């Protein structure tokens, strides 16, 4: 009898606790990405609108796979990747010279393409850079290594994101290890600054394996906003990737979420998570297009055996200054 009463009392307590928890996310909690057609099988995308109004997207694998579009809706695989052949130095970081997670920018009349080289589970990694006058596939000239990490370092030099602050140029990067880091770049070369060699710390989480990666940063109003991917990428239907955001008054931080928790202590407001067929969104970049900030990411398609697909969501800025996806 006592055991029965104890079980009944425990059930009541559990019921009360469950009733106070927020409901599990449903498809209605997050908007679907923009409808896209054509060749949209893509991973870790970066995108830019070119001078003629057309779009190009580069992504992980190949020699940085390339896709082109006239309207940001219908996409076709380009006849060539970013590179026709891999630079010889790539082979020092993986034996297939397979680059990951590119990031394209336009600065000083030149397109700049940053990219990662590594092997799974290692921080023997490097970030490289190439330049092009047009930004089109097959036109890139490699400029070599920007920054590297080795097995004794507390960071991982992959997933670059480059951002300007006045006349200064910065690169955020990072994956697992101690999370998201930032270094200053030389605007002339686009590579690590030789006079300012500090490796700054922007975000991490308190639990191993510090699953934070793929930073992207944008300024809106008085704040800089840092978007990161959290949890498990690259596992199709089992992916738990999601995107969180925090902000700071300085590009180099400290970043906090809307509740004041520092991103260096695991903070971050959940911006986009899996819902319906759209599993594990992340690997994001940001693009400014026609007055709007566009979140460029991949997800795993629950209706196509977990294949990675292109996701595009515009950001809407609330009266409180925080973004949401639409």
Catalytic residues: 44, 213
For 285, the enclosing helix (H) or strand (E) is strand 278-289
Do the beta carbons of residue 117 and residue 90 sit within 8 Å?
A: yes
**Got the DSSP string for 2-37?**
HHHHHHHHHHHHHHHHHHHSPPPP-GGGSPPPPP-E
**Got the DSSP string for 289-325?**
ETTEEEEEEEEEETTTTTEEEEEEEEEEE-TTS-EEE
Alpha-carbon gap, residue 7 to 252, rounded angstroms: 52
Alpha-carbon gap, residue 279 to 25, rounded angstroms: 12
End-to-end CA distance of the chain: 55
The alpha carbon of 73 is separated from its chain's Cα centroid by a whole number of angstroms, namely: 21
Q: How many residues does the chain have?
A: 326
């Amino acid at each position: 009898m006592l055991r029965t009463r104890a079980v009944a009392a425990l059930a009541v307590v559990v019921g009360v606790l469950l009733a106070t928890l927020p409901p599990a996310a449903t498809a209605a909690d997050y908007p679907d990405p923009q409808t896209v057609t054509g060749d949209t099988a893509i991973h870790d995308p970066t995108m830019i609108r070119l001078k003629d109004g057309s779009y190009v997207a580069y992504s992980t694998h190949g020699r940085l796979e390339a896709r082109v579009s006239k309207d940001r809706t219908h996409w076709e695989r380009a006849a060539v990747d970013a590179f026709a052949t891999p630079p010889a130095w790539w082979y020092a970081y993986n034996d297939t010279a397979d680059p990951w997670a590119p990031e394209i920018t336009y600065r000083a009349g030149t397109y700049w393409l940053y990219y990662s080289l590594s092997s799974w589970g290692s921080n023997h990694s490097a970030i490289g850079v190439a330049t092009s006058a047009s930004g089109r596939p097959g036109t890139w000239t490699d400029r070599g290594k920007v920054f590297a990490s080795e097995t004794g370092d507390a960071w991982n030099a992959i997933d670059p994101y480059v951002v300007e602050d006045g006349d200064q140029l910065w690169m955020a990067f990072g994956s697992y290890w101690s999370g998201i880091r930032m270094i200053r770049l030389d605007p002339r070369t686009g590579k690590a600054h030789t006079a300012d060699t500090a490796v700054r710390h922007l975000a991490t989480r308190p639990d191993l394996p510090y699953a934070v990666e793929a930073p992207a940063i944008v300024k809106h109003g008085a704040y800089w906003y840092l978007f990161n991917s959290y949890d498990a990428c690259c596992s199709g239907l089992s992916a738990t990737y999601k995107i969180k955001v925090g902000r700071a008054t300085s590009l180099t931080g400290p970043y906090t979420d809307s509740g004041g928790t520092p991103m260096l202590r695991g903070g971050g407001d959940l911006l986009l998570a899996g819902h319906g067929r759209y599993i594990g969104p992340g690997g994001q970049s940001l693009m400014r297009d026609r007055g709007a900030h566009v979140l460029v990411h991949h997800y795993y398609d629950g209706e196509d055996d977990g294949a990675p697909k292109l996701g595009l969501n515009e950001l809407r800025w609330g009266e409180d200054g925080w973004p949401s996806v639409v």
